[in-house]
Amino acid sequence: MAPSTKRGPILGGLGLLLGLCGAAAAEEGMWTFDNPPRALLQERYGFSPDAAWLERVRLASVRFNDGGSGAFVSPHGLLLTNHHVAVGQLQKMSSAEQDYVQGGFYARELADEIKAVDLELNVLQSMDDVTARVQAVVKPGMSAQAALEARKAERARLEKESQAATGLRSEIVDLYHGGEYWLYRFKRYTDVRLVWAPEKQAAYFGGDPDNFTYPRHDLDVALFRVYAGDAPLATPHFLKVNPEGAGAGELVFISGHPGGTDRLLTLSQLELLRQGKYPFMLGYLTRALGVLREFAARGPEQARQAAVLTYSYENALKAYAGQFQGLQDPQVMAVKRAQEQSLRAGVAANPEWSRLYGDAWERIERVAQRHAAEITRRDALELWRARLLPKLVSRVLSLVLYTAEIQKPDAERLDGYHDAELEELEFISLSPAPVYKDLEAALLALGFHVLLEKLDAQAPLRRLVSGAGGPEAAARAWLEGTRLDDPAARRALWVGGRAAVEASTDPLVVFARQLEPILRENDAWMKKNVESELTPASERVARARFAVLGKSSYPDATFTLRLTFGPVQGYPMNGSQAAPFTTLHGLYDRSLGFDRRPPWDLPARFWDRRARLALDTRVNFVCQCDIIGGNSGSPVLNRAAELVGVVFDGNIESLPGRFLFDPRANRAVAVHAGYLLHALEELYDAGELADELMGRK
């Protein structure tokens, strides 16, 4: 037996370290559509997408605002994404009597398509560079706090002006951490209807054990249709499906909406993440999964209610654990250190650059060191508010904040409450999605427990929760008696404004009113002590990067549209080689190898119709494309802009890719277009859908 070389799914080797110290390496990069890597593609593949190719792909690419990506795949508004992107809406459409998550769905007629409860889709229409206008409002002699407020006010003005002029959702996007500001305009769609989804067990074959692994055998796809004026939307920009897919070694592209990366952060900022955010999130998710499983054990209906959140938290826990491992890996941090030193050396070599940008890294480090403990505590409160609050609690809190913010001039409001954002805020706050108050109470109590462990004895939130009898009693009191699970009651608050909020005796509104000053104080402290200092320093680091590297690098992901590329290619794994493709042979072999036990069981139709299937059909494949969460549902395209697959995962080796891309083993995992069509025709009796995807209907 050879000596073990196991080092986990992380980087290794001096050669790679040196190769990653400059601009984008290998097939790395989440490129914006205004700056596609044309020269790189021409040099390596003899192909460069022209303006018409980019426009077609951009206008066919769709952002799911509840997280994820998709693409139009017919001229009649048909939209392809992942099952796990659709599953939140499937849950909201379901009931104890009809569970579309477990059993799937197919609308054979347009009239049978079911409207999504609260889904908003965005399609990017245009982009304008407004960097000069945002940065011009910062005047010499301004305090850091005044400069921050001036930037925010200008961003709000730009969004409001654009929305008024175009009618499009308008959003200022921060690229390169303040190096550039772009105004993105999106067409919004909210009449979205479910067309088809497979059973959960076909989509999530292998369950959590197989998640973030490869080889995979998942049918993780779903189809919606977008409507306008109660008729299918005409979508002239769509992606034709190529059933042959792409061959091994063939260049492919992914167009989607990666949620967030931290590759351009400084070493001191990464250290803060390692100390604060990651331990907090890992601890919370681990305990939350225990709460969810305990809740699910109460009965079948409780299990149904908890199922989707359980899938989501299992996925998040695995992702955070892999990313945290990257932050703890000395080789990853050595590469990050070398990258930073290389950039700083380039700045130091030029006296003018050194004068303009040289101390920016020290300024960021001073903020991180001076406030590390306080930032960790306050970040925990913000993470809880922004990501971990149960849905109803979050919506009621947003309503309470809205009624105060709407009384202020637009430029002075909190982020999320500007005029250009109110349409989306109203849509989500008044969602008619079902509410499971017992489940929300259990999760709210857990959130209190986790936060109170980090707060001192005099913290206002501790006094608030203790005064209500402790976490469990407080959560029950605030949720059991509320009437705000009825969207009509929430609408009354929205319309009634601050007077209605102040007069309300609903226990959840009372709690939100008591929580409001705690959150406002936290936000004000972070802006004064952290954001106002980091924003100008980060802008200077970005300008230094442009000075040294130009635009040969790409910005961190921001849940905006990006293009990435690479070949269909396997990779070294477990002392052997992972093949580029899996097949139906492998699906049945893996299920039988586990005696068809969950989570490697299959829906009955897979066994009943096995003889009808071509078992050499390619099921999933991997490509050397640079993705992260948010890319789920993204189309995989060939040079002709034909859809050859649908991204649904990355492999376990890709998880530290939030901080660093390793071209040797980072892979995107996708459903093969041929498997989608074969399954529709032979397993689901949905030949008409296959015809529409193929342009035969």
Domain C-terminal end among 547, 579, 597: 547
Residue 504 lies in a domain: yes
Which two structure tokens, joined as six digits, stand for 673? 């277009």
Confidence of residue 5 (pLDDT cuts 50, 70, 90): very low
- Mean pLDDT, rounded, for 536-565: 95
Closest CA to 394 of 436, 440, 345, 459: 440
Non-local (6+) Cβ contacts of 44 within 8 A are none
Q: Do 66 and 142 have their domain in common? A: no
- Mean pLDDT, rounded, for 320-339: 96
Closest CA to 291 of 444, 510, 110: 444
Q: Do 75 and 24 have their domain in common? A: yes
DSSP string, 345-367: HHHHTSHHHHHHHTTHHHHHHHH
Rounded to 10 degrees, what is the CA torsion of 5, 11, 13, 17?
-170
Sheet arrangement for strand 581-583: 562-567, 251-256, 635-637, 643-650, 668-672, 618-623, 581-583
Q: Do 565 and 642 have their domain in common? A: yes
495 vs 516: CA distance, rounded Å: 19
- The answer on pLDDT for 549 being more than 80 is yes
Specify the pTM: 0.94
* pLDDT digit string, tens, across residues 102-143: 999 999 999 999 999 999 999 999 999 999 999 999 999 999
Mean pLDDT over all residues of the chain? 94
Residue 1 lies in a domain: no
189 vs 183: CA distance, rounded Å: 19
Q: Do 560 and 543 have their domain in common? A: no
Pair type for strands 635-637 and 643-650: antiparallel
Q: Do 150 and 209 have their domain in common? A: no
C-alpha separations of 26 from 30, 183, 207, 561 in Å: 12, 30, 32, 21
Which two structure tokens, joined as six digits, stand for 27? 């097939």
Q: Do 294 and 389 have their domain in common? A: yes
- The answer on pLDDT for 187 being more than 50 is yes
Burial of 216 (0-12, 13-18, 19+ CB in 10 A): buried
Residue with tokens 């050595």: 334
State phi, psi for 601 to the nearest 5 degrees.
Answer: -85, 170
Q: Do 450 and 476 have their domain in common? A: yes
Domain count of the fold of the chain: 3
Pair type for strands 562-567 and 581-583: unpaired
Q: How many CB atoms lie within 10 A of CB 456?
A: 7
Residue 7 lies in a domain: no
Residue 348 lies in a domain: no
For the four alpha carbons of 656, 338, 253 and 250, in that order, the dihedral sign comes to negative
* pLDDT digit string, tens, across residues 294-323: 999 999 999 999 999 999 999 999 999 999
List the helix and strand counts (H, then E) for the chain. 28, 20
Burial of 498 (0-12, 13-18, 19+ CB in 10 A): middle
Domain C-terminal end among 513, 529, 547: 547
- The answer on pLDDT for 435 being more than 60 is yes
Which pLDDT belongs to residue 458? 85
DSSP string, 429-472: HT------HHHHHHHHHHHHHHHHTTS-TT-HHHHHHHHTTSHH
Which two structure tokens, joined as six digits, stand for 209? 């054990």
Pair type for strands 222-228 and 668-672: unpaired
Q: Do 538 and 675 have their domain in common? A: no
424 vs 466: CA distance, rounded Å: 35
Domain C-terminal end among 134, 155, 189: 189
Q: How many CB atoms lie within 10 A of CB 264?
A: 21
Which two structure tokens, joined as six digits, stand for 507? 């226990």
Residue 332 lies in a domain: no
Looking up residue 31, the CATH number of its domain turns out to be 2.40.10.120
675 vs 681: CA distance, rounded Å: 10
Cα radius of gyration rounded to whole Å, the chain: 25
Q: Do 176 and 309 have their domain in common? A: no
The CA-CA-CA angle for residues 203, 209, 212, to 5°, reads: 70
Closest CA to 475 of 503, 447, 505, 513: 447
C-alpha separations of 357 from 146, 272, 322, 343, 543 in Å: 21, 22, 33, 11, 8
Q: Do 419 and 540 have their domain in common? A: yes
* pLDDT digit string, tens, across residues 352-381: 999 999 999 999 999 988 889 899 999 999
Q: Could you tell me how many residues make up the chain?
A: 697
Residue, of 600 and 3, whose pLDDT is higher: 600
Q: How many CB atoms lie within 10 A of CB 469?
A: 12
Strands (E), 585-672: 618-623, 635-637, 643-650, 668-672
* pLDDT digit string, tens, across residues 164-184: 999 999 999 999 999 999 999
Residue 340 lies in a domain: no
Which pLDDT belongs to residue 14? 34
**Is 577 strand, coil or helix?**
strand
State phi, psi for 5 to the nearest 5 degrees.
Answer: -120, 20
Residue 85 lies in a domain: yes
In the chain, the N- to C-terminal Cα span, in Å, equals 58
Rounded to 10 degrees, what is the CA torsion of 414, 416, 417, 423?
170
Residue 331 lies in a domain: no
* pLDDT digit string, tens, across residues 54-69: 999 999 999 999 999 9
- The answer on pLDDT for 3 being more than 50 is no
| Domain span holding position 432 | 274-323+360-547
* pLDDT digit string, tens, across residues 488-501: 999 999 999 999 99
C-alpha separations of 213 from 322, 566, 573 in Å: 12, 19, 11
Q: Do 128 and 89 have their domain in common? A: no
Which pLDDT belongs to residue 697? 74
* pLDDT digit string, tens, across residues 448-466: 999 999 888 889 999 999 9
Strand partners, 562: 256
Rounded to 10 degrees, what is the CA torsion of 40, 43, 44, 48?
70
Strand partners, 80: 71, 223
Q: Do 215 and 131 have their domain in common? A: no
